């Protein structure tokens, strides 16, 4: 079984909205005008609402903004890229069968991983910590593809791994010959996401294989273990949810971090997750 064949089965179900594709192309050039971005965003009511919500959040000071142009100017194009990727991804998978996966819990875990990735990147002295939010957020997106394309395998993997993420990855290799990390990379490649994000998603369980992106992959690897300890993720398995047991020693070496960072990062994530989730996935935030 190959990642390509699995993504082929569901590629028509999970595609980026046209507005998001065009925005991504504009942002990638680095030469777009705010007016161009504002015009495109105005065609997508959901994206517009989330942009204004973010721009008027407590993170930013000043009078309330009421226009798309002012909102973009306030948050900047880097944060707009994050918002775009987050919104596009959650929208693409909004209609997942609840019998297959609990999407509220899935995105809660994903948001916590994104936040932990950013926090750990700051502790590690990474030049632009915010770059790690999106790969952290999307690290498990391949699981959603597998749930949809191969539900029988997904059920077997979950049962045999007792829903412990690190064991799930190994069980996918054993049962299918392909992992959610590889499937996620294939999907993000088709969505034309930046190479760094693709590689981190592909190697977040094996950061020692990530080559030029071993630091970024190691940060998300550690962040994933921390996110597994945030409720409700830790309630979904019967294993000990001590983050230290889930972290590859290579990740500590690559980042220069130590296990002492876990507790402070966990506390930070617990505080921030609901605020961010309220922007990315309001339906999930409303249940916590």
pLDDT at 176 over 70: yes
The better pLDDT of the pair 256, 59 is held by 256
Kindly indicate the confidence band of residue 226, based on its pLDDT and cuts at 50, 70 and 90: very high
- Residue 219: what pLDDT? 98
Total-model pTM: 0.78
Domain boundaries in the chain?
A: 3-15+98-285
Cα gap 123→117, rounded to integer Å: 10
Average pLDDT, the chain: 83
pLDDT at 178 over 60: yes
123-158, pLDDT tens digit by residue?
A: 999 998 988 988 998 899 999 899 888 888 887 887
Between the alpha carbon of residue 204 and those of residues 48, 93, 139, 181, 190, the distances in Å are 32, 21, 7, 7, 19
Percent of the chain with pLDDT over 70: 86
CA-based end-to-end distance of the chain: 38
- Residue 231: what pLDDT? 67
Domain 3-15+98-285 sits in CATH at 1.10.3210.10
CA 70 to chain centre: 27
- Residue 142: what pLDDT? 92
Stretch 238-265: mean pLDDT, rounded?
86
Structure tokens at 126: 């990474």
pLDDT at 177 over 80: yes
Stretch 278-288: mean pLDDT, rounded?
58
Cα gap 53→24, rounded to integer Å: 20
- The answer to whether 224 touches 204, Cβ cutoff 8 Å, is yes
pLDDT at 249 over 80: yes
61-82, pLDDT tens digit by residue?
A: 888 887 889 989 999 988 888 8
pLDDT at 253 over 70: yes
Kindly indicate the confidence band of residue 233, based on its pLDDT and cuts at 50, 70 and 90: low
- Residue 238: what pLDDT? 44
Stretch 170-177: mean pLDDT, rounded?
85
Q: Identify the weakest region by mean pLDDT among 114-118, 123-127, 161-165, 245-249.
A: 161-165
């Amino acid at each position: 079984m190959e990642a390509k064949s699995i993504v082929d089965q569901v590629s028509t179900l999970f595609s980026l909205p046209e507005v998001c594709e065009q925005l991504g192309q504009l942002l990638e050039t680095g030469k777009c005008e705010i007016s161009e971005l504002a015009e495109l965003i105005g065609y997508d009511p959901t994206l517009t609402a989330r942009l204004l919500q973010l721009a008027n959040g407590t993170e930013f000071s000043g009078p309330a903004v009421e226009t798309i142009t002012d909102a973009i100017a306030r948050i900047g194009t880097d944060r707009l890229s994050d918002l775009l990727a987050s919104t596009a991804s959650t929208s693409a998978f909004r209609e997942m069968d609840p019998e297959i996966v609990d999407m509220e819990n899935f995105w809660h875990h994903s948001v916590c991983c994104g936040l932990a990735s950013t926090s750990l990147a700051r502790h590690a002295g990474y030049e632009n910590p915010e770059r790690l939010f999106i790969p952290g957020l999307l690290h498990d997106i391949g699981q959603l593809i597998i749930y949809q394309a191969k539900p029988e395998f997904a059920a077997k993997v979950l049962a045999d791994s007792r829903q412990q993420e690190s064991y799930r990855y190994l069980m996918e290799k054993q049962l299918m010959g392909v992992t959610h990390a590889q499937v996620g990379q294939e999907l993000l490649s088709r969505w034309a996401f930046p190479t760094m994000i693709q590689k981190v998603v592909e190697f977040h369980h094996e950061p020692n294989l990530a080559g030029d992106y071993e630091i970024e992959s190691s940060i998300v690897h550690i962040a994933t273990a921390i996110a597994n300890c945030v409720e409700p993720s830790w309630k979904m398995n019967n294993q000990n949810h001590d983050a230290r047991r889930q972290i590859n020693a290579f990740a500590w070496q690559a980042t220069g971090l130590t296990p002492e960072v876990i507790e402070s990062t966990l506390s930070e994530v617990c505080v921030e997750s609901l605020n961010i989730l309220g922007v990315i996935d309001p339906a999930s935030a409303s249940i916590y």
